[in-house]
Amino acid sequence: MPSLTDHPLFDSDRRRQWLRPLRRYAWLMWIAVTALAGWILWDRLHGIDLSAIGRRILATSPTTLFMAVSCCLGVNILAGAYEGIAVRSVTGRRAWIHSGIVASVANPIGHMVGNALLGAGALRYRMHSAAGLNAVQIGGVIVLTAMPFLLALGWLIDLAMVFFADEAGKALHVAVPALMAFGLVGLLKDAAWLWFVRRRKTPLRIAGQDIRIPSLHATLLQTLIGIGEILLAAATLYVFLPPAIGMSLPTFVAVYLIAVMVGQLSHVPAGLGVQEAALLLMMPQVPPAELLGAALLYRAVYDLLPLLVALVLLVTHETLLRRGPLQQSLVTQNQRQADDQP
């Protein structure tokens, strides 16, 4: 049976051959998306008094700010907890504090780099390898930590299209019957995946490699954690928006996810400008100055604050690692847990 390292993704020559066409034309897509986002922002904001945005930001109450920070903190707690679950699932070791630190560093910095998977993956490799994990184990952790968002993404958008079709139809400019049809098909897809992981007991064989299917319990856990993370992330922005938004939180979650996905596909760092342009298009009922003020507050709480914490943790980690005691402590702890396993 071929090992995981035999897969083409671990073959640097074949990987470069696969990625060469994407790299060649990626800059064109980046320029096109950035130009489109810039045009939308200019079209919607060129007549706005910037002082109105400042007044909107200064008018934010301490209670609203506290709620947003609490939501952001909840996102990071869930991400850190699942990082620990992923490490334990791959290695059998319990390293909750270390995993929480890794998630608190990798996720914000990877998000701001503009390619969350590669940026966060490199940081995870650096920090987990210092704790004694090998490349295959770290690859497994990276795959597992991506699953909650991917699974929850489908469920939340599909549920919003079915149960909040009227509000979602206005935001997405799609007829309600068509939206409900798309949502029902999506829910069937989501349910089919749960049925598949429950019934499938043997690994899938893809490109000569056996891929183990997660259990139903693991899939449900991934989905619930992902839903929690996304709801809290969307709520971080939602609490800053004015009543003129005219939509409930579940409907806004679908709008928020679409804006986030557009920002991620653009590969612009943190989707800056692209995400805001998408929100302006989908929520024309909100005064642009109000929306931009809320977006700036959201960026400060959800992007800038975790980034500052991540940089402090990363510098501290690297400083302690160079002095030796941290690495020795992590490796010793992992070895002790490995010896305790039957």
pLDDT, position 1: 37
pLDDT, position 38: 62
Sign of the torsion formed by the C-alpha atoms of 333, 335, 341 and 342: negative
Residue 206 DSSP class: E
pLDDT, position 4: 38
What pTM was computed for the model?
A: 0.80
pLDDT, position 71: 96
Per-domain boundaries in the chain: 4-8+61-340
* Residue 263, both tokens: 């920002």
The vertex-329 CA angle with 123 and 134, nearest 5°, equals: 45
63 Cα distance to chain centroid: 26
Distance CA 34, CA 29 (A): 8
pLDDT, position 73: 96
Distance CA 124, CA 281 (A): 36
Nearest to 111, CA basis, from 256, 311, 241, 271: 271
Q: pLDDT of the chain along its 342 residues, tens only?
A: 333 334 444 444 544 554 455 556 555 665 665 666 566 666 656 666 677 788 888 889 999 999 999 999 999 999 999 999 988 888 888 888 999 999 999 999 888 876 555 578 888 988 888 888 888 888 888 888 888 998 999 899 999 889 988 888 887 778 889 989 999 999 999 999 899 888 887 776 655 656 677 788 888 999 999 999 999 999 999 999 988 788 889 889 989 998 888 887 777 777 788 888 888 888 888 888 889 899 999 999 999 999 999 999 999 888 887 766 555 555 555 555 555 555
Nearest to 269, CA basis, from 234, 229, 298, 304: 304
pLDDT, position 234: 96
Nearest to 230, CA basis, from 74, 110, 103, 115: 74
Q: Which residue has the tokens 């971080």?
A: 236
Contacts of 77-81 with CB under 8 Å at 24 or more apart are 78/225, 78/228, 78/229, 78/232, 79/103, 79/104, 79/107, 79/145, 79/229, 80/104, 81/225
